[in-house]
């Protein structure tokens, strides 16, 4: 018996084995590496991951019907029934590093990537399939209309590869949107040489009002300071990741000065 696709869980099962195999090959560790698959569904990707002798696979799936299916078809699979967004990663991996892969539930992909960012210290690679627009946003450079919070935060810590676009018709049922496969590989050197908490705050505050200049948006962080620097004349999409890091250092320096007014 096959799993009946449930819309509210973002279930669109991939039915193209060639694409499933190519996605599984986005992670090719040379030594035994823990890998977490999010939302395996009926295991189209899982079967290829299980065949890789260097992948120590754990899967997390929220749908009970899928979990029953997976247990029947892949008895050796380590499967957790639950919500990835609530999963305590320490409980599963301790302080070990692990890779993340999936043909993800599109309805929660941004939340998945925020959790990856939070856990960047132990996630060297995150790859898989998402909605095309989301993949484009993640890979977007400054100056682009789609450049936003996830672009800056993910690109600060990861090298992003937009691998290829995938058509609707390889899914059952077909989604309304096109898809894309991406790979994010953590940068070797941490380029974020600033207060990281403040960096996140600056990026989020700036893009919350993306049409405003940095001067207007960041007023909430710097209510009584003179912001006489050129960078405050720009709008957030004009700033590169490195500009945001420099801006964070500038904001911190301004915060340490006594207020002007
Ligand atoms: N990887 C499968 C299924 C893709 S559909 C395939 O390629 O065919 C997305 C899958 O994510 C579904 O199986 C859905 O039940 C699961 N899912 C949705 N929300 C989830 C969550 N919060 N945590 C874990 N899995 C989730």
Number of residues in the chain: 261
Give me ligand 1 centre to Cα 258, in Å: 51
R_g (Cα) of the chain, nearest Å? 21
61 contacts: CB under 8 Å, gap ≥ 6: 39, 40, 41, 67, 70, 79, 80, 81, 82
The minimum-distance atom of ligand 1 relative to the CA of 40 is: 1
Averaged pLDDT for residues 120-138: 97
What pLDDT does residue 252 have?
95
CA distance 102 to 130: 9
Backbone angles phi, psi at 246, to 5 degrees: -65, -40
The encoded tokens of residue 9 equal: 């869980």
The residues, any chain, with a CB within 8 Å of residue 98's CB and separated by 6 or more, are 33, 34, 35, 36, 89, 122, 123
Q: Nearest to residue 30, comparing CAs of 56, 50, 57, 54?
A: 54
Predicted pLDDT at 260: 66
**Atom from ligand 1 closest to the CA of residue 63:** 15
In angstroms, the first-to-last Cα distance of the chain is 70
What is the mean pLDDT of the segment spanning 146-154?
A: 97
pLDDT at 261: 57
Atom of ligand 1 nearest to the CA of 105: 9
Predicted confidence at residue 175, as pLDDT, reads 95
User: What is the pLDDT, as a whole number, of residue 1?
Assistant: 78
Q: How far is CA 91 from CA 36, 64, 88, 123, in A?
A: 13, 21, 6, 15
Ligand 1, pocket-test mutation among 5, 7, 62, most atoms within 8 A of CB: 62
In this predicted structure, the answer to whether residue 79 has a pLDDT above a threshold of 60 is: yes
Q: Which two tokens stand for residue 98?
A: 């692990």
Mean of the pLDDT values across residues 8-29? 97
Condensed to tens digits (0 to 9), the pLDDT of residues 197-245 reads: 999 999 999 999 999 999 999 999 988 888 889 999 999 999 999 999 9
pLDDT confidence band for 176 (50 / 70 / 90):
very high
pLDDT digits (tens, 9 = 90+) for 46-59: 999 999 999 999 99
Residue whose CA is at the smallest distance from ligand 1 atom 21: 83
Which amino acid residue places its CA nearest to atom 16 of ligand 1? 39
Give the pLDDT score at 123: 97
Report residues whose beta carbon is within 6 angstroms of any ligand 1 atom.
Answer: 9-14, 38-42, 44-45, 60-63, 66, 83-85, 102-103, 105, 108
Q: Please name the residue whose Cα sits nearest to atom 13 of ligand 1.
A: 41
Q: Whose CA is nearest to atom 20 of ligand 1?
A: 62
Burial degree of 123 (CB within 10 A; 0-12, 13-18, 19+): buried
> How far does residue 106's CA lie from ligand 1's centre (Å)?
9
**How would residue 189 be classed by pLDDT, with cut points 50, 70 and 90?**
confident
Query: If you measure from the C-alpha of residue 238 to the centroid of ligand 1, how many angstroms do you get, rounded to a whole number?
Result: 35
Q: Which tokens sit at 236?
A: 């957030």
């Amino acid at each position: 018996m096959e799993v009946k696709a449930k819309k509210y869980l973002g279930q669109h099962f991939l039915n193209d084995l060639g694409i499933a195999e190519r996605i599984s090959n986005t992670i090719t560790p040379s030594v035994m590496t823990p890998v977490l698959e999010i939302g395996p569904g009926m295991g189209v990707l899982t079967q290829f991951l299980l065949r890789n002798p260097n992948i120590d696979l754990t899967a997390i799936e929220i749908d009970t019907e899928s979990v029953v299916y997976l247990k029947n078809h892949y008895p050796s699979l380590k499967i957790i029934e639950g919500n990835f967004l609530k999963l305590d990663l320490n409980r599963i991996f301790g302080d070990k590093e692990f890779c993340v892969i999936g043909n993800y539930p599109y309805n929660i992909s941004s939340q998945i990537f925020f959790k990856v960012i939070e856990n960047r210290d132990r996630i060297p690679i995150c790859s898989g399939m998402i909605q095309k627009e989301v993949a484009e946003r993640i890979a977007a450079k400054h100056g682009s209309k789609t450049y936003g919070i996830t672009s800056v935060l993910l690109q600060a810590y990861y090298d992003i590869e937009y691998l290829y676009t995938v058509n609707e018709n390889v899914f059952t049922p077909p989604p309304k949107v096109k898809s894309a496969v991406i790979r994010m590989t953590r940068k070797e050197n941490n380029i974020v040489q600033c207060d990281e908490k403040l960096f996140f705050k600056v990026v989020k505050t700036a893009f919350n009002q993306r049409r405003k200049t940095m001067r207007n948006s960041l007023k909430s962080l710097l209510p009584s300071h003179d912001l006489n620097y050129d960078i405050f004349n720009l709008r957030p999409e004009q700033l590169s990741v490195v500009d945001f890091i420099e801006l964070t250092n500038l904001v911190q320096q301004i915060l340490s000065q006594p207020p002007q007014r």
